[in-house]
Copies of this chain bind each other. A is one copy, B any other.
Amino acid sequence: MKIIRNLHAMTLWSDRLRREGVTIGFVPTMGALHDGHRALIRAARLRCDALVVSIFVNPAQFGPKEDLSRYPRPIARDRRLCRAEGVDVCFEPTPADMYSERFQTSVMVPELAGRWEGTARPHHFGGVATVLVKLFSLVRPHHAVFGQKDFQQAALVRRLIADLNLAVGLTVHPTVREPDGLAMSSRNVYLSPDHRRRAPVLYRALSAGRQAILDGLRDGRQVDRIMKRMMAEDRIVRPEYLAVCDAASLEPLKKVSGSVVLLGAIRIGRVRLIDNVTVAVPSAGSARRGRRSA
């Protein structure tokens, strides 16, 4: 496995392979790799000849009070995981190379960025969109794989690729979960043992909402209420939002129909966690009869 830190060297590597007709897969990460990332890497591996994983804790997507400095950076372990998964290039640019002193350009996807995570983290998605355009330009992938866990990010990336004609194929890979349902996240390591035990309540609430929809419920506010009731069972976990939304626009749905996502964010102590589940709601004719398979 090659470790590339220099931006120009990354582009040269990709250009050479592209000229040879090699297809390039790409998994952008902030490191602290876990089994969720491993699943993304394997999915990308299957779709492409050569595979680049970037490890870059992007300062631009952290707010001033967020966990940039204490974000975990176990680089040796990350490289071992990449090597074991047959990654061809581990791309590790430096913040100084990525953001020069005169840097001023930003990429915005304002409608998708303004909701949900964007409310709690106002600069987050601008930072994400900007760094992704940069990474796509540097790595020049044919295909990129993102995790469904960051559903809003994936929706935004889809819009970004379409709007800027970036010609990058996109796979959104299902969330990988711990046995008790907790979505894998690099931030799970922050949880105390007690908080770790409580954290799966978010997934249980989202799943209850989905089940209600599968059982035929179509009133978005009633689904919200079911999720909130389940969350209220734990007094330590504070919900930030729980919502039933259109899966493309992320607008909350009064009437549940089409491609639907249930989004949630919670705080436990100082840790903030997000999760989501999706459900396809059949057309009105068959909706009333309910549908029990996910």
Asked if A294 is at the interface (CB within 8 A of a chain B CB), the reply is no
Chain B residue contacts of A102, Cβ below 8 A? 159, 162, 248-249
Query: Chain B's nearest CB lies how many Å from the CB of A288?
Result: 31
Query: Chain B's nearest CB lies how many Å from the CB of A95?
Result: 14
The stretch among A103-111, A197-205, A210-218, A271-279 that forms the contact with chain B is A103-111
Asked if A69 is at the interface (CB within 8 A of a chain B CB), the reply is no
Query: Chain B's nearest CB lies how many Å from the CB of A30?
Result: 18
Which of B19, B104, B106, B107 meets A112, CB within 8 Å?
A: B104
CA distance A7 to B278 in the complex (A): 32
Q: Are A110 and B100 in contact (CB under 8 A)?
A: no
Chain B residue contacts of A11, Cβ below 8 A? 165, 167
CA distance A159 to B105 in the complex (A): 8
Chain B residue contacts of A19, Cβ below 8 A? 18-19, 21
CA distance A61 to B137 in the complex (A): 24
Asked if A163 is at the interface (CB within 8 A of a chain B CB), the reply is yes
CA distance A134 to B166 in the complex (A): 8
Which of B162, B165, B248 meets A138, CB within 8 Å?
A: B165
Asked if A164 is at the interface (CB within 8 A of a chain B CB), the reply is yes
Please tell me the number of chain A residues within 8 Å of chain B, measured between CB atoms: 33
Q: Are A105 and B107 in contact (CB under 8 A)?
A: yes
Asked if A160 is at the interface (CB within 8 A of a chain B CB), the reply is yes
Q: Are B163 and A103 in contact (CB under 8 A)?
A: yes
Interface centre among A21, A133, A134 (most CB of B within 10 A): A133
CA distance A134 to B137 in the complex (A): 12
Q: Mark A10-23, 1 if CB is under 8 A from B, else 0.
A: 01000000110100
Residues of A near any B CB (own CB < 8 A): 7, 11, 18-19, 21, 100, 102-112, 129-130, 133-134, 137-138, 159-160, 162-167, 248-249
8 A-B pairs closest in CB distance: A105-B163, A137-B165, A104-B111, A138-B165, A105-B109, A134-B165, A106-B108, A107-B107
Would you give 20 A-B contacts (Cβ < 8 Å), ordered by A?
A11-B167, A18-B18, A18-B19, A19-B19, A100-B163, A104-B109, A104-B159, A105-B159, A105-B163, A105-B164, A106-B107, A107-B107, A108-B108, A133-B133, A133-B164, A134-B163, A134-B164, A134-B165, A137-B165, A137-B167
